Chains A and B, each alone.
Chain A
Amino acid sequence: VELLIGWSIQALFMVVGAMAFTEEFFERKFSWYLKVMIFVIFRVESFIFPIVGQLSIIFTIITWTGLLFWQTKKIVVNLIAIILTVLLSVVSSYLAQVVVLEIIFRIIGTIEGVGYMVLLQTITFIFVVTSATMLRKPYKNFLSSELLTSELLKWVLGFLVLTFIVFYTDILVGAYLGFSVYVLLLRGIQLLLYLLLMLGIFYKLHTMYKKDKQNEIERMQAEQQREYLSHLETLYEEMRGLHHDYRNLLFGFEGYLESGDLDGARAYHASNIQRVSSALQKADFGKSQLKNIGIPAVKGLLTAQVMNAKARGVDVKIECPEPIDGVRMDALDLCKCLGIFLDNAIEESLHLNDPEVTVAFMTGAEDLWIVVRNNCRDKLPTVKQMFKRGFSSKGEGRGLGLDNVAQIVKRTPNVQMETEIDTQKFTQHLRIYT
Chain B
Amino acid sequence: MLEVVICEDDLETKKLMEETIKSYLEFEGLDGSVVLSTDDPYAVLELAKAQQKTRLYFLDIDLGKKISGMELARELRHYDPTGFITFCTSHSHLAYMTFTYRISALDFIQKGDRNDMRKRIREGIQVAYTRYGYKPKSSQRFKVSISGSHQYVDYADIIYCETMTEERKIIITTPKRSITYVGTLKEIVDLDERFILCHRSYVVNRDHIDYVDRKNKLVYMKNGDTCEVSRNGLKLFK
Contacts and interface: CB of A to CB of B under 8 A. Distances in A.
A83 B218 CA distance: 32
What is the interface residue range for chain A against chain B? 35 or more
Interface in A391-434: 406, 409-411, 413-414, 416-422, 431, 433-434
B98 A409 contact: no
B91 A281 contact: yes
Nearest to B68: A321
A59 interface: no
B97 A371 contact: yes
A286 B94 contact: yes
Interface of A is mostly: mixed
Nearest to A413: B167
B92 A281 contact: yes
A117 interface: no
A417 B165 CA distance: 16
A225 interface: no
A362 B149 CA distance: 14
A409 B180 contact: yes
Contacts of B146: 416, 431, 433
B173 A383 contact: yes
B94 A289 contact: yes
Which of A382, A384, A409 has the most B CB atoms < 10 Å from its CB? Answer: A384
Contacts, number: 89
A321 B95 contact: yes
A419 B178 CA distance: 5
B70 interface: yes
Interface in B99-139: 101-102
A151 interface: no
A45 interface: no
Nearest to A282: B92
A319 B166 contact: no
Interface string B140-158: 0000001111000000000
Contacts of A417: 179-180
B221 to A, nearest CB: 9
Closest 6 pairs (CB-CB, A-B): A360-B97, A383-B178, A321-B95, A417-B180, A433-B147, A419-B178
Given A362-B102, A371-B97, 20 more contacts: A362-B98, A362-B101, A364-B102, A364-B149, A369-B102, A382-B173, A382-B223, A382-B224, A383-B177, A384-B178, A387-B178, A410-B166, A416-B181, A418-B178, A419-B177, A419-B178, A420-B176, A420-B177, A431-B146, A433-B147
